[in-house]
Amino acid sequence: MRTYDVIVIGAGSVGLPTAMYLAEKKLSVLVIDPERGPGQANNKKAIGGVRATHSDYGKITTCLRSIEIFSTWKDIYGDDLGWMSNGYSYPAYNETDEKKLKDLMQVQHSYGLNIKWISASDYYELVPGIMMENLKGSTYSPKDGSCSPLLAGMAFYFRARKLGAEFKFNESVTDIILDKGKITQVITDKDRFACGQVINAAGSNAKAISNLVGLDSQVNPDNHEAGITEPVARFFEPMVIDMRKRPGSANFYFYQNFEGQVVFCITPEPSIWGIDNRSTSEFLPMCAKRMLEIYPRLRHLKVRRTWRGQYPMTPDGFPIVGRMKEVSNFINAIGMCGQGFMLGPGLGELITRICLDELKDDDKKILDSFNPYRTFTGMEVFK
């Protein structure tokens, strides 16, 4: 039986960068995933938005590091991830949203975020043609950005392999053997492996993996759809997040990616729990209506395709990351909600420091936000 220092369950948004950073530290790493290749579950469903514009220290700090990793990747390693520092914006169309955003900006500034309030006319410069009626202004965080989850996932995968990490695809973790409160073996539908530590990075399937070691986890997937248009010449800059509720949706967002395609996504209300990857006929008419309301200039764009995936949600909108007390060599890196792609690289480094017991004071502060033993009674402001 092969023995590894660390087994990572799941080759997705979190598992791939984590494997890469573990291998960089010379640990022997095995990644197991039932899909046919890297990043084939929810990683490739993400629309590629990457922001540090959050409301708490943990997510802000982790995503600032992710932004650094994504944005410098091409210079350091040569692969083009499609990174653009196109920024994020939250336009406000009523005074309540304006106040909410401005209040939050004070917290964000205290964590060192580069975010400012811009007037409606300045916003029009960034998003020419945006609906001006009742527009109060917008937040703008120019260092946030976007890149391709497909390209990024593959870049992390190839570098992880180059550094010695091993991958087993078409193989699923089916059982975990414990001895005196510690994992000794990971069983798959094809094989068994001994290991020092195990990382649960199984995304939508995180709860089932936790159950294998006798734990529960508060992660429940909910379905989200997205779509992409044909490519056209660049005509607006930032990610636009329309925070207003409309029948069937809590908010929606869109941006123009590095290839000129407009990518869009909606937050359904009520949530659609479970795992169902079939696209619906409701999504496109609902989303198109919202997009044309705020940005009529999109009306001639042709939609190429839509798809559906899941956010692995927690009750409070924060991830669950940390070593489990009951099973000391089991580390959860789950419940990424709608931000697993943007959290992935920053978390990958942090999880590596958990494995090596090399946490810094700053890491501990981040992990407070993601503590598996919290009460889950709070609520992330941007959830």
Ligand X SMILES: Cc1cc2nc3c(=O)[nH]c(=O)nc-3n(C[C@H](O)[C@H](O)[C@H](O)COP(=O)(O)OP(=O)(O)OC[C@H]3O[C@@H](n4cnc5c(N)ncnc54)[C@H](O)[C@@H]3O)c2cc1C
Where do contacts with ligand X occur on this chain (CB under 6 A)? 9-15, 32-35, 40-43, 45-49, 172-173, 201-205, 224-226, 265, 309-312, 336, 338-342
What are the tokens at 140?
């703008």
* Least distance from ligand X to the Cβ atom of residue 189, Å: 9
Task: Phi first, then psi: give them for residue 380, nearest 5 degrees.
Answer: -70, 130
Report angle CA 269, 228, 38 to the nearest 5 degrees. Answer: 90
Cβ proximity to ligand X, 84 vs 135, nearer residue: 84
What are the tokens at 261?
């395609």
CA distance 228 to 115: 27
- Beta-bridged to residue 264, according to DSSP, are 227, 254
Three-state secondary-structure class, residue 85: coil
SS3 of 251-264: EEEEEECCCCEEEE
Cβ proximity to ligand X, 41 vs 81, nearer residue: 41
Q: How many CA atoms lie within 13 A of 160 on its CB side?
A: 29
Cβ proximity to ligand X, 137 vs 149, nearer residue: 149
* Least distance from ligand X to the Cβ atom of residue 228, Å: 11
* Least distance from ligand X to the Cβ atom of residue 332, Å: 10
* Residue sitting closest to ligand X (CB): 12
* Least distance from ligand X to the Cβ atom of residue 51, Å: 8
Three-state secondary-structure class, residue 283: helix
CA distance 328 to 261: 46
* Least distance from ligand X to the Cβ atom of residue 212, Å: 9
Cβ proximity to ligand X, 128 vs 214, nearer residue: 214
Cβ proximity to ligand X, 98 vs 140, nearer residue: 140
Task: Phi first, then psi: give them for residue 305, nearest 5 degrees.
Answer: -160, 165
CA distance 361 to 359: 7
Cβ proximity to ligand X, 137 vs 330, nearer residue: 330
* Least distance from ligand X to the Cβ atom of residue 308, Å: 7
